[in-house]
Amino acid sequence: ETRRLATLSALPSVTRDGAEISLQANLELPRDVEVALRHGARGVGLLRTEFLFMSRDHAPDEDEQYALLRDIVEGMNGRPVTIRTIDVGGDKLAPSLREQIGEPTSEAPNPALGVRGVRLSLAHPKLFETQLAAILRAAAHGPVRLLLPMIATPGEVLAAREAVERVYKRLKRRKLPVPEQLPPLGVMIEIPGAALSADALAQVADFFAIGTNDLTMYTLAIDRGDERVAPLYNPLHPAVLRLIQFTVEAGMRYRVPVSICGEIAGDPRFTALLLGLGVRELSMAAPKLSRVKQRIRAMSLSEAGMRARRIMDQVDSIRIADLLDDFNGGLD
């Protein structure tokens, strides 16, 4: 079985009817690069940079962040690396940031609805600009995309873009190597309101990455870390699926590439449905890549599209799960 999966990592990720699906890895630290390559990742669809700030007393400065990111970009050897700016707050803490951001965000009345993700970055320009400088410098070493977490409005994207442009000019004045062009600037679609205004966000963003972990949590009002409500946490709820569908369709209309990087991207149970909805890019924990690829190679996209349409006609998540399992049964 291990050998079979090892062989798989070298095979292309194409459906039986010839559609190519880009399979990428979610990374947290430079040491994950080797694992991603071993499992055949075509790039990094999500680098969670907040992990560079965790398990340490002091936040890394610009040079240290740059060195860490450069190692990842160089390690991926020409494959695209999607670097997400810091996403702390909610369930994610980084005590090393306390010096710069003051009161821990976990003590807010409702951390999940408070200053987290891009809100924190925009509220602390120095922290944000230091990170952007490190990212832009790393982008001189290979293809980099910049990704903003917890976006709710186009205004946040515009504010972030201004910061990127400001930092880029400053680096050029410092005569530091930067890429010739600014990296594409994408947004996480993980707030229901962002999904429902995906058409507006498509006017200001270069790509979308759907974060189904938070999207499910905020859509169903189920804390992803609270075991007491865990049984209610269900990405197959029709509301979640409709938000994914709406986002993918807006992306197609405005020619904005859409990837999925939440846990469901790495769950083979969801693969046929996501492809059937029009998704062509999935990013997941590296060890999940082989099984998802196996699923992709067993299915045809036209069949997946037909099945997805039937599933999207349903209003009941149990019926949805049954239809999905029925389709998957035929693919094993």
Piece of the chain touching Mg ion by CB under 5 A; list 90-98, 160-168, 214-222, 251-259: 214-222
The binder of ligand PEP chosen from 82, 212, 234, 271 (CB under 6 A)? 212
* Torsion sign across C-alpha atoms 327, 207, 243, 113: positive
Return the number of other C-beta atoms located less than 10 Å from residue 277's C-beta: 22
Give me the 158-197 binding string for Mg ion, x by CB under 5 A, dash otherwise: --------------------------------x-------
Asked if 263 interacts with Mg ion (CB under 5 A), we say no
Among 214, 263, 281, 303, binds Mg ion (CB under 5 A): 214
Among 25, 41, 261, 285, binds ligand PEP (CB under 6 A): 261
Query: Is residue 156 within the footprint of Mg ion (CB under 5 A)?
Result: no
How far apart CA 249 and CA 63 sit, in angstroms, is 40
Q: CB 219 → Mg ion: shortest distance, Å? A: 13
Nearest-angstrom CA–CA distance, 217 and 222: 5
Residue 47 CB, nearest distance to Mg ion (Å)? Answer: 13
Cα distances (Å, whole numbers) of residue 196 to 151, 153, 268: 12, 11, 26
Q: Residue 249 Cβ, how far from ligand PEP at the closest point, in Å?
A: 19
Inter-CA distances, 157 with 72, 96, 154, 219, 332, Å: 25, 26, 5, 22, 42
User: Is the C-alpha dihedral spanning 55, 69, 75, 82 positive or negative?
Assistant: positive
| Residues that bind ligand PEP in the complex, under the rule CB under 6 A | 46, 48, 87, 190, 211-214, 261-262
| Interface with Mg ion (CB under 5 A) | 190, 211, 214
